[in-house]
Amino acid sequence: MKLKPIVAVLVGNLTIAACAGGCGSNDDSDGRDSAAAVTTAATSHSNGGTADTSRKRRDGSRVKVMSSRYGKVLFDGRGRALYLFTREKRRSSRCYGECARAWPPFYTRGRPRAGDGAQASLISTTKRRGGRRQVTYDGHPLYYYVSDRAPGQITCQDVVEFGGTWLVVSPGGEAVQ
């Protein structure tokens, strides 16, 4: 009889640990491993959703604004949430290795463009180690979260990992707290 409450507590603790662990580790390392280790999922989500390969290269990735439970925030052209990393105080990325596996960079092959609600004047790029171009918004390099799979999904807002906080981005370029 006393086993049921213990099992319930253990299952509850495992559920909490799984949710908290879903956003990765709380590692304070800067993840300065090779950028080549970035997951395939990141690459498949980084081109704005255009089917024509030549068009992707010419036009680049798209940033748009959509409504979410955090208000209006930035998404890519296919509706995937975009995040900024508070540890980055200037345009260059500090997220490589394990960090980039959990928080894949939002890459572009061409000049990134503004979609619905995004401000074209705030969209630019930064060059990562290895030469790939990462989209920036108001100077902040943009990232996905690896477990956000569906359009509009935001599963890891306001979490501290890899020495900084990960937050979705407002249309004005500010971190949404």
Q: Over pLDDT 70: what percentage of the chain?
A: 67
Tell me the C-alpha distance between 158 and 69, whole Å. Answer: 13
- Per DSSP, the residues of 48-70 read TT-S-HHHHHHH--EEEEEEETT
pLDDT of residue 83: 98
SS3 state of residue 159:
strand
What average pLDDT does this structure show over 87-93? 90
Sign of the four-CA dihedral 54, 57, 58, 59: positive
pLDDT of residue 1: 52
Q: Which residues pair with 165 in a beta bridge?
A: 160
Which of 34-38, 42-46, 117-121 is predicted with the least confidence, judged by mean pLDDT?
Answer: 34-38
pLDDT band at 131 (very low <50, low <70, confident <90, very high): very high
Q: Over pLDDT 90: what percentage of the chain?
A: 64
DSSP 37: G
Tell me the C-alpha distance between 40 and 60, whole Å. Answer: 18
pLDDT of residue 77: 97
> With 70 as the cut, is the pLDDT of residue 111 above it?
yes
Helix%, strand%, coil% for the chain, nearest 5: 25, 25, 50
pTM as predicted: 0.72
pLDDT band at 58 (very low <50, low <70, confident <90, very high): low
Identity of the highest mean pLDDT range in 7-16, 38-47, 53-62: 53-62
